[in-house]
């Protein structure tokens, strides 16, 4: 079923505390308004009219940049006036349904929209509704009665209507300010179907709602895994750097920088997790400024790139493969140093060691091998 959408974003948000009105605040880096417009655009709305407060049209252009098929109109002093303005601005007369949605419910999805369009079959309107779970009391300072919650529902948005139904019903409406659009259809004698609501269609009303929404929005994140491998050759020396710790040894690892294969492998694992190439691209061995460099700066750079894209490191795990030196006595110091560089709790950092029982280049003590994996969480 083709459908048009009116998104109401013109309210003054007095209950939401100081700051910008709700639609213009951000949630996980996107404006609250953009969440809804994106969802309706993705679900195939033929037309999206965003109703904003007078003078806010330019703000809409800014926060909705790049999204198709929407335009902004100015709303009125009340929600009902804004809905009327939005309905009047619809041009797609071939649309068979119209959905009216509060911008303050950012987590609407295509599944909600499909469910409502299906429920519209044989009805004049369809609304998402949740049964009332809490016991209801009537009272002032104390309870005067317990109210039966039988047959009571909490109405949410978006609300779906046959095209023309809300326009005609609003024209005939003589009551005060309706609290939703279905009430207007009901008053005009229309049949409004109840579809399954969803707690995720929560309305941002009070300041604490934003905290909860921010946590829910955080679920729109993905976990990425990266791996890194590095090897360096043993050469003459008196100490070796491994995982940011200097260990006295009768040899050293040879390389352009300090040759800390452990740090290099973890750096590559982080770069791999965010698709940012490898350590050689960021710090070319041909560049003299990295000669003898302490490798903790390479790892800190990779961690900075994760943070720059709104990500955070979940854990890192590195395995050092060598016959000598013994890693075990230094393991805790290595974990502590890695935790410090990456600003992670120590239980998110693992250092392990193994030998290859005399086999291969590590067994013949020609060189040391390090392998690492890292997991990071980033916005989806």
Site residues (vs Mg ion, CB under 5 A): 230, 264
Bridge-based pairing of strands 159-162 and 125-131 is antiparallel
For Mg ion, which is the closer residue by CB, 105 or 264? 264
Reading the block at residue 239, the tokens are 């100490």
For Mg ion, which is the closer residue by CB, 56 or 264? 264
CB of 348 to Mg ion, least distance (A): 23
CB of 368 to Mg ion, least distance (A): 10
For Mg ion, which is the closer residue by CB, 75 or 262? 262
CB of 230 to Mg ion, least distance (A): 4
CB of 360 to Mg ion, least distance (A): 18
For Mg ion, which is the closer residue by CB, 197 or 228? 228
Query: Which residue's CB comes closest to Mg ion?
Result: 264
Q: Which residue is associated with the tokens 């999805």?
A: 109
Q: How far is CA 294 from CA 240, 258, 290, 297, 328, in A?
A: 12, 6, 8, 7, 22
For Mg ion, which is the closer residue by CB, 35 or 290? 290
For Mg ion, which is the closer residue by CB, 11 or 262? 262
CB of 275 to Mg ion, least distance (A): 20
In sequence order, the 6+-apart residues with CB closer than 8 A to the CB of 340 are none
In sequence order, the 6+-apart residues with CB closer than 8 A to the CB of 107 are 35, 200, 201, 202, 213, 216, 217
CB of 295 to Mg ion, least distance (A): 8
Tell me phi and psi for residue 139, to 5 degrees.
170, 180
């Amino acid at each position: 079923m083709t459908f048009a959408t009116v998104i109401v974003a013109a309210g003054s948000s007095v209950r939401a505390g100081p700051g910008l009105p709700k639609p213009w605040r951000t949630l996980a880096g996107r404006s609250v308004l953009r969440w809804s417009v994106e969802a309706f655009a993705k679900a195939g709305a033929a037309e999206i009219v965003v109703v904003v407060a007078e003078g806010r049209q330019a703000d809409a252009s800014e926060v909705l940049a790049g999204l198709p098929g929407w335009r902004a109109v100015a709303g009125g002093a009340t929600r009902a006036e804004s809905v009327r303005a939005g309905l009047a601005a619809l041009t797609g007369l071939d649309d068979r349904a119209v959905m009216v949605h509060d911008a303050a419910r950012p987590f609407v999805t295509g599944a909600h929209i499909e469910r409502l369009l299906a429920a519209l079959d044989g009805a004049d309107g369809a609304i998402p509704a949740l049964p009332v779970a809490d016991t209801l009391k009537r009272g002032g300072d104390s309870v005067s009665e317990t109210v039966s919650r039988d047959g009571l529902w909490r109405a949410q948005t978006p609300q779906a209507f046959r095209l023309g139904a809300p326009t005609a019903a609003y024209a005939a409406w003589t009551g005060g300010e309706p609290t939703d659009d279905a009430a207007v259809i009901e008053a005009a004698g229309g049949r409004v179907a109840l579809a399954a609501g969803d707690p995720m269609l929560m309305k941002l009303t009070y300041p604490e709602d934003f905290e909860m929404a921010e946590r829910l929005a955080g679920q729109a994140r993905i976990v990425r895994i990266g791996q890194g491998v590095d090897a360096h050759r043993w050469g003459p020396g008196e100490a070796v750097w491994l995982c940011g710790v200097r260990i006295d040894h009768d040899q050293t690892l040879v390389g352009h920088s300090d040759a800390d294969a452990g740090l290099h492998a973890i750096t590559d694992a982080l770069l791999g997790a965010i698709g940012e190439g490898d350590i050689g691209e960021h710090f070319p061995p041909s560049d003299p400024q990295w000669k003898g460099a302490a490798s903790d700066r390479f790892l800190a750079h990779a961690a900075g790139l994760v943070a720059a894209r709104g990500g955070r490191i979940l854990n890192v795990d590195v395995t050092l493969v060598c016959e000598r030196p013994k890693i075990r006595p230094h393991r805790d110091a290595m974990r502590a140093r890695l935790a410090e560089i990456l600003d992670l709790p120590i239980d998110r950092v693992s250092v392990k060691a193994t030998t290859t029982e005399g086999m291969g280049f590590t067994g013949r003590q020609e060189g040391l091998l390090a392998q690492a994996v890292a997991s990071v969480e980033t916005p989806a």
